[in-house]
Amino acid sequence: MTGESYVPASSEEVRARAVQALAAARARTAALTDAVSDRDLTAQHSPLMSPLVWDLAHIGNMEELWLLRNVGGREAMHPEIDPLYDAFEHPRAERPKLPLLGPAEARRYAAEVRGRVFDLLEGTALEGTALLDGGYVFGMIAQHEQQHDETMLITHQLRRGEAVLAAPDPDPPAGPPPAAAEVLVPGGPFTMGTSAEPWSLDNERPAHVRETAAFWIDTVPVTNEAFRAFIEDGGYRDERWWAPEGWEQIRRHGIGAPLFWRREAGQWLRRRFGVTEPVPDAEPVLHVSWYEADAYARWAGRRLPTEAEWEKAARHDPATGRSRRYPWGDEDPTQTHANLGQRHLRPAPAGSYPAGASPLGVRQLIGDVWEWTSSDFLPYPGFRAFPYREYSEVFFGPEHKVLRGGSFAVDPVACRGTFRNWDLPVRRQIFSGFRTARDA
């Protein structure tokens, strides 16, 4: 069985990619923080989230720590602020009470760090250590900033007030709809994870062989229309479909629909980045917890796919036996492949992006919505924490469920066929949806 393949880039290509990735992340950070007032930047819009100004300075602090100090050997610019921006030292709910840098100070700090980083990148050999090979540490920092940009976009969604962000809607689906509602994925071995992708993070490594039995998987994510049928059939009132912890959660909090939905005058409405609109039938359902996804799947007589099944559906090419970087192949995503990068502020209708389909015809595995799987977040065989335990290792265990595929809020630099996300099964504010599967 053939594994994965990757063509190494030259130092010049790696440097150019790092500059582009860092610049794109900073442009997005600026757009998200410049869109609101200083008062909104310093406010906590939900106890689940940090003030936006904390994210802004944390981005700069992480960049200074790993690039200027670790790679460049520089002295700390402001060592007194390190504890304030240590994500493990202060829970999000406590961060507004800290003596944080104000908006102007945070912007100046992040900009000064970035200017020094570009100077460092220009003169650093991108080889010789695990941190530098392939520009890994620069890619890690670009991904870190983009992940915080997605977090800040979640804060924008939770924020009350008039709309401040704008983006065009996705185009209608190109070409005919999928021929079938589900696709058969053959049983057998495949290569899961990666040992070759230069900017892959520790939990994606190493590549290893997994075996799956044959299974069926939805061709597209579950839509709002399909999920509404679950609601209208009393799904939120029927204990049969729910894991015990999920049933307790929805009863305690009176949950009867996805987050941001409400019923008014016989119609389902939702709030999306400050705009109230009818819930669009054709879009993948968004802002559902793992418990809601699991309950829907049980109600439908199906189940959530395992993480291995999801990745096999996304990467495995039965014709060659090889695992691709993405469902469509090895080339980086374009606008024809997937809805990524906050290009739109909503998922595209189910059935979009036929050019992004997997070899078996499964669509929208990358972009649009993060997809819950049935799997706990666990290390792969041979896992090694790198470059720090707090990125992945401290989260391993049954408390967190794995999400795959990315959402419209994810930048391509932080989204691959091997990329793993994880969260608590109660989480609903994230840009999460799902698709279902069944045994063959």
Cite the annotated binding site by residue number: 58, 92-95, 144, 148, 423, 427
| CA 414 from centroid of its chain's CA atoms | 8
Provide the annotated binding site for Fe cation: 58, 144, 148
Helix (H) or strand (E) holding 439: strand 437-439
Q: Are 278 and 268 in contact (CB under 8 A)?
A: yes
Distance, first Cα to last Cα, the chain: 23
**Which of 346, 344, 320, 317 lies closest to 417 in space, CA to CA?**
317
Distance CA 266, CA 242 (A): 26
**Radius of gyration of the chain from Cα atoms?**
21
| CA distances for 196 relative to 140, 357, 364, 428, angstroms | 15, 23, 24, 33
Q: Which DSSP string do the residues of 220-249 spell out, in sequence order?
A: SPPBHHHHHHHHHTTGGG-GGGS-HHHHHH
The β-bridge partners of 215 are 185, 439
Q: Which DSSP string do the residues of 281-337 spell out, in sequence order?
A: TTSBP-S--HHHHHHHHHHTT-BPPPHHHHHHHHHB-TTT-PBPSBTTBSSPP-TTT
Distance CA 38, CA 422 (A): 31
Helix (H) or strand (E) holding 403: strand 397-404
| CA 27 from centroid of its chain's CA atoms | 19
Structure tokens given for 82 = 């390190």
The dihedral through the CA atoms of 130, 131, 137, 138 has a sign that is: negative
Helix (H) or strand (E) holding 190: strand 188-192
Burial of 223 (0-12, 13-18, 19+ CB in 10 A): buried
422 contacts: CB under 8 Å, gap ≥ 6: 377, 395, 400, 401, 402, 403
**Which of 7, 39, 364 lies closest to 198 in space, CA to CA?**
7
DSSP conformation class of 79: G
Provide the annotated binding site for gamma-L-glutamyl-L-cysteine: 92-95, 423, 427
Q: Are 139 and 198 in contact (CB under 8 A)?
A: yes
Residue that the structure tokens 């990735």 belong to: 21
Structure tokens given for 360 = 């078996």
Strands 432-433 and 370-377: parallel
